[in-house]
Amino acid sequence: MQLCREPDGVVKLDSFVVGSARDTNAASIAINEQRFAPNIKNIVSADALGDVMDGNVGEFLKGARSAYEMILMAFERGELASVKPFLSQEVYLAFLEVIEGRKEKGLSIDANFVGLAEIAVHEVEFDEASREADVAIRFLGELTSVVRDAGGEIVEGSLSEIKRQKDIWTFSRVMGSDDPNWQLVATGE
């Protein structure tokens, strides 16, 4: 580039091109989409999910949906034995406490899983040192449910009215381990 000073004191430069490259990775796009959303929205970049979900978010969510239905219905029925391998000790004991509380009161649940109105990845964490991945999934489940007393009378709910239930469940797994199953480690709304 050449500089040339004109007689009037103006400095004249040779022509040059200004260029830019927009560096947008998936995390930046996710942050901007979340920032400019018209309502509250959690966005997780696909890059954050790649290693954790073997690059296939759809298949992961399909498995999460199945786990949600299986665990939720086992809890409602008060039969945790079949799902115990998929529950952390803490979650298992919390579920067991609720089930035993119902039994002490002579209450039972009659529930049917209708489906999911919504399922979405809420949050993903990965600890590289331990290789442990935690994936929080937001569910909006639809089910019919009644609570019956010891005499079988309905004391709450309706078998014909579909109720929506919001849950955020966190599944955990050590990546690269021989066990391909995820374990439910936390529940919340």
Q: Give pTM, 2 decimals.
A: 0.72
pLDDT tens-place string over residues 20-56? 455 555 555 555 565 666 655 455 444 544 455 556 7
In the numeric block, which tokens belong to residue 52?
């954790």
pLDDT at 63 over 80: yes
User: CB neighbours of 7 closer than 8 A, spacing ≥ 6?
Assistant: none
pLDDT tens-place string over residues 123-140? 988 888 898 999 999 999
pLDDT at 50: 47
Question: What is the distance in angstroms between the CA of the first residue and the CA of the last residue of the chain?
Answer: 62
